[in-house]
A and B are shown apart, each in its own frame.
Chain A
Amino acid sequence: MIPALFAKVKAEAFFLVLLAVAAVGAWLYVQYRQVSADRDDLQHRAELICAGSGTDFAAIGKTARGVRCAQTVAGLVKFKGDSDQLAAATLAQAMADHDARQNNDTRAARAAAEAASSAAQRMEMADAQAERTNLVDRDWFRAVNGVAGLRAAR
């Protein structure tokens, strides 16, 4: 039984080899088509990505394909990072400036209010003295100058 099968196989050896070669060829062909389709798709996507960044994917002169595009994209990434950093620094500085102004102004306002309040007290006292006679002298004038925040006229 088995020797008979062997004999038959031997007789058809050529055809079997051919079949095996054809199978391998077909398998390789399918592989090739898949790889080829995959490569075309990748190239297409690379071209789309590069076009989005404003450059060509294709080789230009001695520059290999994709190199200029990669440089452009790297530049864009750097630009975005630098811009973000500068914007953050500008905003932080603006906030710090505002706080400093606020503090300075609060201090100035408090000083002005204190000066005005003590000048008003002195004015009240000086005016009370002039109440009866309506006669005003140096003290009253000085108090008025104090309320106005002015120095005396010579």
Chain B
Amino acid sequence: MSTPIVVKVKDTPPAELLRCADRPEGLPEDPALIAQIPTRIRAGIIRLARSFAANADHLDRLINWNTPAACRSPEG
């Protein structure tokens, strides 16, 4: 008989959008590997790495906002 006037609408995005950020393995940390990389390329690699981390953290935060604790915390 009783129906609330206000109901919570759960508008779940498609599962594909709720996939946590992909974090593959990065560069090898092998002491035997030494490379010569010019400064501008090094700067580019660093930019890529930085934006990768920022975007991945951002995505995980967004997914965690929608479904709490779905993705592990960024520093984990």
* Inter-chain contact B31/A90, CB cutoff 8 Å: no
Chain A residues touching B, majority SS: helix
CA distance A104 to B67 in the complex (A): 12
How distant is the Cα of A136 from the Cα of B38 in the complex, in angstroms? 10
Q: How far is the CB of B6 from chain A (nearest CB, A)?
A: 4
Q: Which of B52-76 contact A (CB under 8 A)?
A: 52-54, 56-57, 60-61, 64-65, 68, 73-75
Name which of A6-14, A20-28, A76-84 contacts chain B. Answer: A76-84
Option from A109, A134, A148 in Cβ contact (under 8 Å) with B53: A148
Instruction: Please measure, in the bound complex, the distance between the C-alpha atom of A150 and the C-alpha atom of B28, giving whole angstroms.
Output: 11
Given A142-B29, A149-B57, A105–B65 Cβ distance below 8 Å? yes
Cβ B35 vs Cβ A83 within 8 A: no
Partner of B33, one of A75, A123, A138: A138
Shortest CB distance A98–B (Å): 10
Within 8 A of A (CB), among B2-47: 2-8, 23-31, 33-39, 42, 45-46
- Shortest CB–CB separation between residue B38 and chain A, in angstroms? 6
Please determine whether B64 and A104 come into contact, CB atoms closer than 8 angstroms: yes
In the complex the two chains form, what is the Cα distance from A114 to B73 in whole Å?
13
B-side contacts of A58, CB under 8 Å: none
Q: Which residue in B28, B35, B75 is a CB contact (below 8 Å) of A152?
A: B28
Chain B residue with the shortest CB-CB distance to A115? B75
Given the complex, which residues of A lie within 8 Å of B37, measured CB to CB?
A: 130, 134, 136
User: By the criterion CB–CB under 8 Å, are B53 and A152 in contact?
Assistant: no
Tell whether, in the assembled complex, residue A152 and residue B26 are in contact, meaning their CB atoms are under 8 Å apart: yes
Judging by beta carbons under 8 Å apart, are A112 and B74 in contact? yes
Some 13 contacts from A to B, beta carbons below 8 A apart, are A82-B1, A90-B8, A101-B65, A115-B74, A134-B39, A136-B35, A138-B29, A144-B27, A145-B49, A149-B53, A150-B27, A151-B25, A153-B29
Interface residues, chain B, with chain A CB atoms under 8 Å away: 1-8, 23-31, 33-39, 42, 45-46, 48-50, 52-54, 56-57, 60-61, 64-65, 68, 73-75
